Structure 1
Amino acid sequence: MDTTQQNSTAWDQKVEEGSKYTKPVSREVIEKAKKDEWSISVTTEKQVPRHWFPESLKDVKILCLASGGGQQAPVLAAAGADVTVTDISKKQLEQDRNVADRDGLSLRVVQGDMTDLSDFEDESFDLIVNPVSNLFVKDVHLVWKEAYRVLSRGGVLITGFTNPLLWIFDDEKEREGILDVKHSVPSSTLDYMPESDVEAYIKSNQTIEYAHTLEDQIQGQIDAGFVLNGFYEDDFGGTRILDKHIKTFLATRAVKA
């Protein structure tokens, strides 16, 4: 199966369905960003600490990685950065174009896979912003290696990802308030699905997701050459039973050594 194509189609469908993560920021948010009143998220609820960014974004070369949807990239562009946004979903990138056209922003948009940034030369960017998205790729190490390659020396990677604990419970029961340990990590969406259901799942244009270990998420960045110097946790915003017990999203700040 071509997982990239499957997830590209699935995210195009999410745009059509109006998923929370496909809704672009408002004109008001952009106007504030132009006045240096801005913040973005790479998880679900919490905003990235402002001190994780340069004091001024003017002319800072930023890659918004797997970040389509008209949320992070337009805000950073409005704040003065030189922004490129890449994503596997054409319709997600259209959301960024729409905001740029609406609010007079300059954005470069490139459709592509986060594990293969061959469209970009070595050391092309000063900063990478990568919202929760590497759950859609099988080998997260490729993401870290490519991010390291395209960052300039001393460049920063800000990324959000899922706590592996989120994946071990039966998802449907967890939504009903029941914590039933069912899955292992690492694993994928299809690993525990009855074979008879797989074809229908694929045809309905659903995403294929991968549960990565913390070692792959954190040590993977270190192995790629990064030095981590920032960390925080986040949750679903109180909408899931797990929010009462533990944070299910993580964010790190890493520097290219």
Structure 2
Amino acid sequence: MDTTQQNSNAWDKKVEEGSRYTQSVSSEIIEKSKSGEWEITVTTERSVPRDWFPKSLVGLKILCLASGGGQQGPILAAAGADVTVTDISKKQLQQDEYVAKRDGLTIKTVQGDMSDLSDFKDEYFDIVVNPVSNLFVKDVNPVWKEVSRVLKNRGILIAGFTNPLLWIFDDNQERKGILDVKYSIPSSSLDYLQEDEVQAYIKSSQTIEYAHTLEDQIQGQIEAGFVITGFYEDDFGGTRILDKHIKTFITTRAIKLKIE
């Protein structure tokens, strides 16, 4: 099946339903960002440290990767960056276009798969910002390699992703307050379903998600030419039982270093 198309359709549906990660930022936030008071998140709750970015974003080319929804891209554009947002969901990109038109911003949007950045030139961007989203691709390693290709030498990658521990529990039971270890890593949303359940799942327009190993998430970046220079964890803000035990989101800051 075409996982990319399935997830594209699913995210279009999430926009229609008003999911948290499809809700664009307000004009008030954009105005503050224009005056230098800006912050973004790439996980759930915690903001990316400002010192992970250069002191000024003015003129810097930033790719917001799999980052539609009118959130990170407009803020960075308001802070002075030359922003491109790419996402598999057309309706998510329309959220960025809406904010740009509403608040007088210039943002380029490109619909596409994060595993294939062939729309972009080698070593074009200064920074890539990738919120939690690589759970929607089967293999994360091509993502790191493509990001490395389009980043300038010493360019910055800020990436949020899921701690695979989140995926070992039965999600329905966890939401009831019961931690039932049921699944293995790596795996996907479809791996433990019966054939008829798979068809029902696909027809329901839900996202297909992949639980990647930490080795693929971190060593994968290193093998793609990155040096990890920052790391923090995040959670669901106390709304899930797992928050009492462990933080289930990770953000890394990495620098591309081309070694001749």
Fold-level match, TM-score > 0.5? yes
Asked if 1:108 is matched to 2:108, the reply is yes
- 1:153-201: CA deviations, max 9, x gaps? 0000000000000000000000000000000000000001122211111
Number of aligned residue pairs: 257
Match of 2:255 in 1: 255
SS of alignment partner, residue 42 of structure 1: coil
State the SS of the aligned residue for 2:191: helix
Aligned to 2:59: 59
In structure 2, the partner of 1:70 is 70
Name the TM-score, length of structure 1 as normaliser. Answer: 1.00
| Equivalent-residue separation in structure 1 for 2:18 and 2:180 (angstroms) | 30
DSSP-derived class of the 1:86 partner: strand
Q: In the aligned structure 2, how far is the partner of 1:32 from the partner of 1:193?
A: 47
* Deviation digits for residues 62-84 of structure 1 (CA, Å, limit 9, x no counterpart): 00000000000000000000000
- Residue identity opposite 2:25 in structure 1: V
Partner of 1:127: 127
Deviation digits for residues 70-121 of structure 1, max 9, x if unmatched? Answer: 0000000000000000000000000000000000000000000000000000
1:4-19 aligned at under 5 Å gives the runs: 4-19=4-19
Equivalent residue, structure 2, for 1:155 = 155
Unaligned runs of 5+ in 1: none
Equivalent position SS for 1:206: coil
In the other structure, the counterpart of 2:41 is 41
Is 1:233 paired with 2:243?
no
Other-structure match for 1:201: 201
SS of 1:191's equivalent in the other structure is: coil
- Equivalent runs, 1:94-105 vs 2, <5 Å: 94-105=94-105
Residues 169-248 of structure 1: matches in 2 within 5 Å? 169-248=169-248
Q: Give the Cα–Cα distance (whole angstroms) in 2 for the partners of residues 126 and 199 of structure 1.
A: 42
Cα distance in 2 between the residues matched to 1:253 and 1:246: 21
SS in 2 for 1:192: coil
TM-score by length of 2: 0.98
Q: Which amino acid is the alignment partner of residue 81 of structure 2?
A: A
| Distance in 2, Cα, partners of 1:172 & 1:45 | 22
SS of the counterpart of 1:80?
coil
Q: Distance in 2 between matches of 1:193 and 1:240?
A: 24
Tell me, in whole angstroms, the C-alpha distance in 1 between the residues paired with 2:193 and 2:25.
36
Aligned counterparts of 2:54 and 2:76: Cα–Cα separation in 1 = 12
Deviations 1:179-237 (A, max 9, x none): 00000000000001122211111011100000000000000000001000000000011
Q: Which residue type is aligned with residue 57 of structure 2?
A: L
What is the rounded CA distance, in whole Å, between the counterparts of 1:141 and 1:105 in structure 2?
33
Q: What amino acid is aligned across from residue 23 of structure 2 in structure 1?
A: K
Secondary structure of 1:113 counterpart: coil
Task: Give the match's secondary structure for 1:222.
Answer: helix
Q: What per-residue deviation string (whole Å, max 9, x for no partner) do you get for residues 109-139 of structure 1?
A: 0000000000000001000000000000001
Q: Distance in 2 between matches of 1:3 and 1:197?
A: 16
Moved over 2 A (4+): none
Gaps of 5+ in 2: none
